Structure 1
Amino acid sequence: MHESSRRWPAYALSAPALVFYGLLLAVPLAATLLLSLRVFDGAHATWSGLGGMNYVAVFGDPYFHTVFARTFALAAIVTALCALLGTPEAIILSRMRAPWRSLCLVAILAPFLISVVVRTLGWAVLLGGDGFISRVLQTLGLTDGPVVLMYSMTGMVIALVHVLVPFMLIAVWVALQRCDPDVERAGASLGASEVMIFRRLVLPQIVPGIASGAVIVFSLAATSFATPAIIGGRRLKVAATAIYDAFLGSMDWPQGAALAVALLLANLAILAAWQRLGERRHSARSRTPAPIVMEEVTS
């Protein structure tokens, strides 16, 4: 039987999934790309012709430069904080015994059962001038007046970290389940300290989980809308809120579509560069001679 004829059943079985994928993702993306090329006539509120003027406006306007810079700076800060908080949480949970481990895991993942909008509105109450955080700081004498974290970069970071840190925790948790506990016991039996065991034995094994969680958190933070819209307000716009204003504020749909495509391409470029960096580090490690791990741990 010819090789192509043997492959045909596999392609036929994949056809429904490919069609479903195309209808849900490829068609809307193609429609958005086509819409971004339309020319909007603001005087008559009509679309006429095709062109790249919307992309010229996006890439040439300093206002949009500021919006995108704020978006990716926010995503980077949130990703770093989620890694710093989620990694120790996952390690501590993996060391717990039943039933405390299950109870703590449920408590951490329970916010998934509540809408992001509801959680963000809760943070809006806490971050206001009369909120709990401001009153605690004034009671402790750390500030002389009300502390308003609403409509600030700090407030958006706090709210987004609370929303997204469970994604980092899950990714690191999965990586920890693959770690061999005998490696840590061997390092401890050879006299290695807890810090050395974590740095030389545990951390290299969970780096892929941290990297996967970072990709997820960065993507969600860069494209988030509800939290920046409520906490940042009209003062601190990010790409998602700028797209919303273009579509429903000025009714300039082609401009909003161009912003959406630009955000997608920029996000994909950053993630591709991150993946490429990880591949280079992995290939560099594979080319170097493997050291004797226990000798490094005890040195």
Structure 2
Amino acid sequence: MASTLPASNNDSVKTGNARRAPWHAFLPLWLMCAPAFLLFATLVLVPLVMTLVLTFYRFDPASGPLAAFQFGNYAEVLQSSYFHTIFLRTFGTAFLTTLLCVVIGTPEAYVLSRMRDPYRSMFLLIILAPLLVSVVVRAFGWSMLLNSNGLVNQAFGLIGLGPYKLEYTTFAIVIALVHVMLPFMVIPVWTALQKLDPQTENAALSLMASPFTTLRRIVLPQLTPGILSGSLMVFGLSASAFAIPGLLGGRRLKVAATAVYDEFLGSLNWPLGATIALLLLVANLIVMLTYYRVLERKYTRSLG
């Protein structure tokens, strides 16, 4: 009979180390989350609370902001037709930018997913290239293209049209915002397409479904999460954009972000500027959460 040999010391040490729990298993969960929460509170929560407190201050042109608890700033913003126009322009521009990014970015991501290397990498780099350039530089570039003597009006002049007033218009703001925000739409949709099995499309086509029906019933429902996340990012960034509306909209076409800038650095009315910024944040959250809930219900209903 074969004798059973005792395990060596090295084996016992290895077994003991394998059974030993990692050091972080003995820490409570709140202590492990504390560094991230402190960073989040320092960079996000504390500035928001300070902005909220500032909205209740009273502004004196002679002495500046004065500590007080009053709702005069909210009443001024909510009851003034001037600020109503600014907020309507802000969210109208953001909605139009989001719609154009969905219409352009979704087919672009679909075509990108069907490409093969090296063309896919090359076109992906072209799509991401605007993110490598400062938004101020891009705004100045569009200003040079769209002004009265720009290349766009020169092209119209060659065919006997124009010149048209393109700069300092809503058209200029939307075109520049679409150029800036399009990568934020293409990448989420392209990521959603990576999870799509091409065999499902082939199966639908083999069952005599038309390409349009396959696209509408098979591909598009699975793209909804990517379209949802991309449109939320585009809408939020467009509604809070400052550089492009400020440079291409001029002093006449103000949006909420440029109005906040003017109140803080122009008239030095910090309480009113903080009120506009906080109302912009609240309105932006309400629109985005409502949009998210509506699309989520439609998506879950379409998938049964």
After TM superposition, the score normalised by the length of structure 2 is 0.89
- 8 A contact 2:65–2:269 mirrored in 1: no
Matched with 2:78 is 59
Task: Report deviation, 1:283.
Answer: 4.8
SS in 1 for 2:209: coil
2:257 equivalent among 223, 240, 247: 240
What residue in structure 1 maps to residue 20 of structure 2?
Answer: none
2:57 touches 2:65 (CA, 8 Å); kept in 1?
A: no
Deviations 1:96-120 (A, max 9, x none): 1110010010011011111000011
Contact 2:176 2:244 in 1 (8 A): yes
Contact 1:38 1:51 survives alignment (8 Å) = yes
CA distance in 1, matches of 2:47, 2:33: 21
Q: Which residue of 2 aligns with 1:29?
A: 48
Deviation for aligned residue 1:127 = 0.5
Query: C-alpha separation between the residues in 2 aligned to 1:254 and 1:151?
Result: 29
Alignment of structure 1 residues 220-259 onto 2, 5 Å: 220-259=237-276
Q: Give yes or no for contact 1:41–1:48 (8 Å, CA) kept in 2.
A: no
Cross-structure match for 1:295: none
Unaligned 5+ segments in structure 1 are: 1-5, 291-299
**C-alpha separation in 2, matches of 1:47 and 1:172:** 49
Runs of 4+ in 1 over 6 A off after TM superposition: none
Matched, 1:188 2:205: yes
- Tell me, in whole angstroms, the C-alpha distance in 2 between the residues paired with 1:33 and 1:49: 13
Q: Distance in 2 between matches of 1:253 and 1:241?
A: 14
Distance in 1 between the 2:123 and 2:65 partners?
A: 55
| Structure 1 position 76 matched with structure 2 position 66 | no
How far did 1:191 drift?
2.3
Please give the secondary structure, in 2, of the residue aligned with 1:49.
coil
Instruction: Name the residue aligned to 2:173.
Output: 156
- Report 1:90-239 matches (<5 A): 90-141=109-160, 143=161, 145-239=162-256
CA distance in 2, matches of 1:100, 1:278: 33
Partners of 1:73 and 1:174 lie apart in 2 by: 28
1:285 to partner: Cα distance: 4.1
The reply to whether residue 17 of structure 1 matches residue 66 of structure 2 is no
Q: How far is the alpha carbon of 1:195 from its aligned partner?
A: 1.3
Note if contact 1:175-1:208 (Cα within 8 Å) is conserved in structure 2: yes
Cα–Cα, structure 1 residues 81 and 135, in superposed 2: closer, same or farther, change >3 Å?
same
Residue identity in the other structure for 2:110: I
1:277 to 282, 288, 294: 294
Distance 2:292 2:92 in 1: 19
Partner of 2:11: none
Mapped to 2, the partners of 1:206 and 1:282 lie a distance apart of 10
Q: Deviations over 1:37-89 (max 9, x none)?
A: 10111244342422111011010100000000000000000000000010011
Match of 1:297 in 2: none
Closer, same or farther: CA 179–49 of 1 in aligned 2, 3 Å: same
Q: Secondary structure at the match of 1:234?
A: coil
Going from structure 1 to structure 2, the CA distance change for 1:10 and 1:44 (only over 3 Å counts) comes to closer
User: Does 1:40 pair with 2:59?
Assistant: yes
Which residue number in structure 2 is paired with residue 264 of structure 1? Answer: 281
CA-based RMSD of the aligned residues comes to 1.5
Whole-Å separation in 1 of the counterparts to 2:65 and 2:100: 45
Q: Secondary structure at the match of 1:50?
A: coil
Task: Give the match for residue 293 of structure 1.
Answer: none
